[in-house]
Amino acid sequence: MKRLLLVTAVIEAGAGLALLGCPAAAVTLLLGSPLDTPVGLTVARLGGAGLLALGVACWLTKHDAQSCAARGLIAAMTIYNLGAVVILGLAGIQLQPVGLALWPAVGLHVIMTIWCFTTLLRKPSLASCQQQPK
């Protein structure tokens, strides 16, 4: 789980920083069309901030990879990655032409979805996810 959290941290923080710093270029690479409105740039930057936050959460959690909180974070990342596959995949089917990085991004999110899901299928250690007395 530690390696998954580390890889996820690097990928999502990198994507978040790209969307925060150069949203028009990042979106052009993915979708083949630049963002040219203030609203579009704002939404892309907001998404970038969210991805950066996920990356930081994964980075910090990698030191406690066997905890229940880490499993919860991996569950959230499974949902995010699956959503990214669907949303980007539909964009690739509906938009023509698409950006150079779109299909590699879809493939990466498919791999990350599978990795997250298979990680969740493993049983947690008893000590890491025992219920604490109230």
Do residues 68 and 26 lie in contact, with contact meaning Cβ atoms separated by under 8 Å? Answer: no
Per-residue burial over 79-101, b = 16 or more CB atoms within 10 Å of its CB, e = otherwise: ebbbebbeebbebbeeeeebbeb
Which positions ≥6 away from 40 have C-beta within 8 Å? 23, 27
Report yes or no on 131 lying in a domain. no
Mean pLDDT score, 87-109: 94
Q: Domain of residue 30: give its range.
A: 2-121
Q: List pLDDT tens digits, range 8-43.
A: 999 999 999 999 999 999 999 999 988 889 999 999
CA distance 49 to 42: 11
Segment 36-67, tens digit of pLDDT: 899 999 999 999 999 999 999 999 999 888 88
Which amino acid is residue 5, in one-letter code? Answer: L
Is residue 127 assigned to a domain? Answer: no
Q: Is residue 126 assigned to a domain?
A: no
Residue 94, domain member (yes or no) = yes
- 54 vs 12: CA distance, rounded Å: 7
pLDDT of 128 > 70? The answer is no
| Residue 131: pLDDT over 60 | no
Answer yes or no: is pLDDT of 95 > 60: yes
Q: What is the pTM of this model?
A: 0.86
Q: pLDDT confidence of 97, banded at 50, 70, 90?
A: confident
Is 39 within a domain?
Answer: yes
Query: Is 113 inside a domain boundary?
Result: yes
Any domain includes 89: yes
The number of domains in the chain is 1
Q: Does residue 84 fall inside a structural domain?
A: yes
